[in-house]
Structure 1
């Protein structure tokens, strides 16, 4: 309808990108363009070379800048945020103490939320990724446990997580020790380290619901690890050690 030649060229592919990006997200257009190349390749063998041409590549980049969706990131937790959680935690509530121990451990050990919780979808539960109570060791200056194989563990050997007593303005050890005593009194034979008052491994929604009682939607599960890394950088820890 636009009086374009039937045989594709670099220019027509570029025009297609500009036209389609007016109605669809550039990421989707990029995917559609790959599908079009796959369908037309038997008839036009050079179409993939055209797809990779500088003009098509730059057109896609320009459309992504013009029409792309902004990246939405959650705010990183801070030491002041942790102070709010500590001050308003009901230390007589088992689940509140569990949440406090989890958020402090996740922050200072740079753990992902998925490394301490189960997904909400039961079909995705994997007991091999659960931290065991038997791996925990507590001393006067630190506590440690074995984090089983996770997505960043290339050799599936697990990692020893060590959290020291003094972490700038906070002492995660005393809160972890308090939770551990409550947990062992209530569930002495249970295997998971992190366990709710109902005797279940906490889910992601359990943690985020607790988090929502302290902060707005700008704080989420990923804020914990990001906040810990940011805090270390602000206190002069070398990037190589943070990684």
Structure 2
């Protein structure tokens, strides 16, 4: 009806990209286009060459900028946010409260990801080899440390030694960690994992998020812990090379 040629050309594919970007997300248009090329290739052998042409790729890139949706990022935690959680500790907190507080302060100051301290909610994708062991913990008067077996940036699966200093601006994560460690060792002295709930299980992501939701809205997520620690270091003048 638009008097376009039947053969898929650079121009018709470019028009298709513009048209579809007004109705669906531009990120999905590229997937649609690949599927269309796969279906048309037996009848139009040059369709992939047209798909790879500069006009089509630039049109798709421009539509992503023009019609793309912004990435919804979670808010980074701040030192004041940590203070809200720490100051809420009762005189005799239950074990799970000590666990949550130790996890969020350790994750914040060591720039850990939530997945490096918890199990996924799906039992099928849990890996015990990624769990930090209690036997790897070393404490002193000025710091505590433990071995992180694996993480996203560890391409060679060598693991890393995580060291967290006692005095972190206005907070003392060492004291919180030692309170948790004492409770953990009293309840489960023979268990291997460092992080354990009152049921003797490795905490899951939902365990952590349920407790996080009691303090903050959905604008704060699991990644807010690592992002907050990074932001805090930068605000206090720590060079990017050290933060990395």
**TM-score, L = length of structure 2:** 0.96
Deviation of residue 49 (structure 1)? 2.7
Let me know the Cα RMSD of the aligned residues. Answer: 1.3
Deviation at 1:65, TM superposition (A): 2.7
* 1:78 pairs with 2:83: no
Question: 2:111 matched to 1:110?
Answer: yes
3-state SS, counterpart of residue 6 of structure 1: coil
How much does 1:66 deviate?
Answer: 3.0
Q: Deviations over 1:52-111 (max 9, x none)?
A: 222212221232233222210000001111111100123421111100000000000000
Q: Identify the range of structure 1 (143-152 vs 105-114) with the bigger mean alpha-carbon deviation.
A: 143-152
Q: How far off is 1:2 after superposition?
A: 2.5
CA deviation after TM superposition for structure 1 residue 226, in Å: 0.5
Comparing 17-26 and 106-115, the one that deviates more? 17-26
2-side partners of 1:41 and 1:233: how far apart?
A: 52
Unpaired runs of at least 5, structure 1? none
1:125 counterpart = 2:126: yes
Q: Does residue 236 of the first structure (1) align with residue 237 of the second (2)?
A: yes
Between 1:38-47 and 1:154-163, the stretch displaced more is: 38-47
Residues in 2 aligned to 1:236 and 1:40: alpha-carbon distance in whole angstroms: 57
Q: Secondary structure at the match of 2:219?
A: coil
Q: Number of matched residues? A: 243
- CA distance in structure 2 between the aligned counterparts of 1:67 and 1:47, rounded to whole angstroms: 25
Q: Which one is further off, 190-199 or 59-68?
A: 59-68
Q: Does 1:211 align with 2:202?
A: no
Q: Does 1:160 align with 2:165?
A: no
Q: Shift of the alpha carbon at 1:27?
A: 1.1
Superposition deviation, residue 191 in structure 1: 0.7
SS in 1 for 2:76: coil
Give the Å deviation of 1:225. Answer: 0.3
- 1:171-225 per-residue CA deviation (whole Å, 9 max, x = no partner) reads 1000000100011011111111000001110000000000011111111100000
Q: Which runs of no fewer than 5 residues in structure 2 stay unpaired? A: none
What is the Cα deviation at residue 45 of structure 1? 3.3
Counterpart-to-counterpart distance in 2, 1:45 and 1:229: 51
Query: Match of 2:195?
Result: 194
CA distance in 2: counterparts of 1:241 and 1:46, whole angstroms: 51
Question: Which deviates further from its counterpart, 47-56 or 219-228?
Answer: 47-56
Give the Cα separation in 2 of the matches to 1:148 and 1:210: 26
- Cα distance in 2, alignment partners of residues 186 and 44 from structure 1: 69
